């Protein structure tokens, strides 16, 4: 029976591109190392923030290999590597899982297919995830993110049914539903099925509910702050933890309002001077200059100053 990833804070790492929308490996390397130096438990490549749907198969495999090699060559062998391997067919999803294993990932994270939402009944969702999990030789996690799956939102009964599969070891709940997280985390121990919040604004809540932590976009900007919150929780310094969580909640909202993926890149570019806020179309780029005087960008500055 496969084991879940360890509890902690994980980052769905953004990718960086040059002016021709080609992979900017120097910027990607700089970002990976800053995240690892920030103490992240693991890195998710090709999550939604990694623009997985905008990469071809060879690019996806290349980035997994590049990430694992970069971490290992710089002494971060202990950083867990998860690969997003969702696709619109069962066949392709299996192939991407095989690729991820071969390229050095330790876990895969799989979105539910969403081209035909009316066809994706609970029974069909369960059948899809079980068929892939049966076929692949790498521990398997479910990715529930209704925003990018045409509104398909797996309920706690469906996820709990899947959690009993011997190769399905966890879930990322980007739906942000605390009740769902609590139901799952109180049904399964973290050693048998890891339940991760998919948003930093409920990081502490997820820990209090017995969850395994967070896999959140804001970790791209504030890895050390997430590490500080986890430490405060583990030391039972809850008053301080709630104070920091409040700041992370405002930061999480600010990053959403600044333009999502490109906004994250613009913040990183402005504050750490690597990469460009280029995204592959049809996403819209956010200019670094647009952050000047922006109230949401200013919301982030206290935590960014602490981060530095």
pLDDT digits (tens, 9 = 90+) for 216-243: 999 999 999 999 999 999 999 999 999 9
Number of domains in the chain: 1
Give the domain extent around 187.
8-237
- Give the pair of three-digit tokens for residue 285: 């780029």
DSSP secondary structure string for all residues of 207-254: HHTT--EEE-GGGGT-HHHHHHHHHHHHTT-HHHHHHHHHHHHHHHHH
DSSP-based three-state secondary structure for 192: coil
Question: Is 85 inside any structural domain?
Answer: yes
Question: Is 91 inside any structural domain?
Answer: yes
Question: Is 147 inside any structural domain?
Answer: yes
Q: Is 104 exposed, middle or buried (0-12, 13-18, 19+ CB in 10 A)?
A: middle
Question: Is 51 inside any structural domain?
Answer: yes
pTM above 0.95, yes or no: yes
Q: For residue range 253-280, what is the model confidence (pLDDT) as tens digits?
A: 999 999 889 999 999 999 999 999 999 9
Residue with tokens 């059948």: 127
Question: Is 13 inside any structural domain?
Answer: yes
8 Å CB contact between 229 and 248: yes
Which one, of 165, 105, 173, lies nearest residue 130 by Cα? Answer: 165
- Is the pLDDT assigned to residue 114 strictly greater than 90? yes
* Secondary structure letter of residue 55 according to DSSP: S
Question: Is 272 inside any structural domain?
Answer: no
Q: For residue range 150-182, what is the model confidence (pLDDT) as tens digits?
A: 999 999 999 999 999 999 999 999 999 999 999
Find how far residue 123's CA is from the centre of its chain. 26
Q: Is 293 exposed, middle or buried (0-12, 13-18, 19+ CB in 10 A)?
A: exposed
Q: Is the dihedral of CA 60, 50, 146, 179 positive or negative?
A: positive
User: Is 261 annotated for ligand binding?
Assistant: no
Give the whole-angstrom CA distance, residue 28 versus residue 17.
9
Active centre residues (catalytic): 143, 172
Question: Is 113 inside any structural domain?
Answer: yes
- Is the pLDDT assigned to residue 1 strictly greater than 90? no
Question: Is 107 inside any structural domain?
Answer: yes
Q: pLDDT-derived band of residue 65, with 50, 70 and 90 as boundaries? A: very high
8 Å CB contact between 171 and 135: no
CATH of the domain at 98: 3.20.20.70
- Give the pair of three-digit tokens for residue 276: 């460009």
- Is the pLDDT assigned to residue 68 strictly greater than 90? yes
Phi, psi for 173 (deg, rounded to 5): -100, 85
Count CA atoms closer than 13 A to 36's CA, side-chain side.
21
From residue 25, alpha-carbon distances to 18, 29, 99, 242, 293 in Å are: 9, 6, 20, 37, 31
């Amino acid at each position: 029976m496969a084991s879940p990833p360890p509890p902690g804070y994980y980052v769905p790492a953004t990718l960086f591109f040059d002016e021709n929308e080609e992979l900017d490996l120097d910027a990607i390397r700089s970002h990976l190392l800053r995240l690892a130096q920030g103490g992240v438990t693991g890195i998710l490549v090709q999550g939604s923030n990694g623009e997985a749907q905008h990469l071809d198969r060879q690019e996806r495999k290349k980035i997994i290999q590049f990430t694992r090699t970069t971490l290992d060559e710089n002494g971060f062998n202990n950083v867990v590597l998860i690969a997003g391997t969702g696709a619109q067919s069962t066949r392709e999803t299996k192939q991407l899982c095989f690729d991820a294993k071969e390229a050095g990932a330790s876990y895969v994270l799989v979105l539910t297919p969403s081209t035909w939402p009316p066809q994706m009944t609970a029974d069909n969702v369960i059948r899809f995830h079980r068929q892939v999990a049966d076929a692949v030789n790498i521990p398997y996690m479910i990715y529930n993110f209704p925003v990018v799956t045409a509104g398909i939102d797996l309920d706690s009964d469906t996820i709990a049914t899947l959690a009993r599969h011997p190769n399905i070891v966890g879930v990322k709940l980007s739906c942000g539903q605390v009740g769902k997280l609590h139901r799952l985390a109180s049904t399964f121990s973290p050693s048998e099925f890891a339940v991760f919040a998919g948003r930093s604004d409920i990081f502490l809540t997820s820990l209090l509910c017995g969850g395994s932590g967070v896999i959140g976009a804001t970790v791209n900007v504030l890895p050390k702050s997430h590490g500080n919150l986890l430490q405060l929780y583990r030391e039972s310094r809850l008053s301080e933890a709630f104070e920091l969580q409040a700041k992370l909640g405002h930061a999480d909202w600010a990053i959403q309002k600044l333009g999502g993926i490109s906004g994250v890149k613009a913040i990183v570019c402005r504050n750490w001077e690597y990469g460009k806020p280029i995204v592959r179309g049809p996403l819209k780029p956010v200019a670094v200059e647009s952050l000047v005087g922006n109230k949401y960008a200013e919301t982030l500055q206290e935590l960014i100053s602490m981060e530095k």
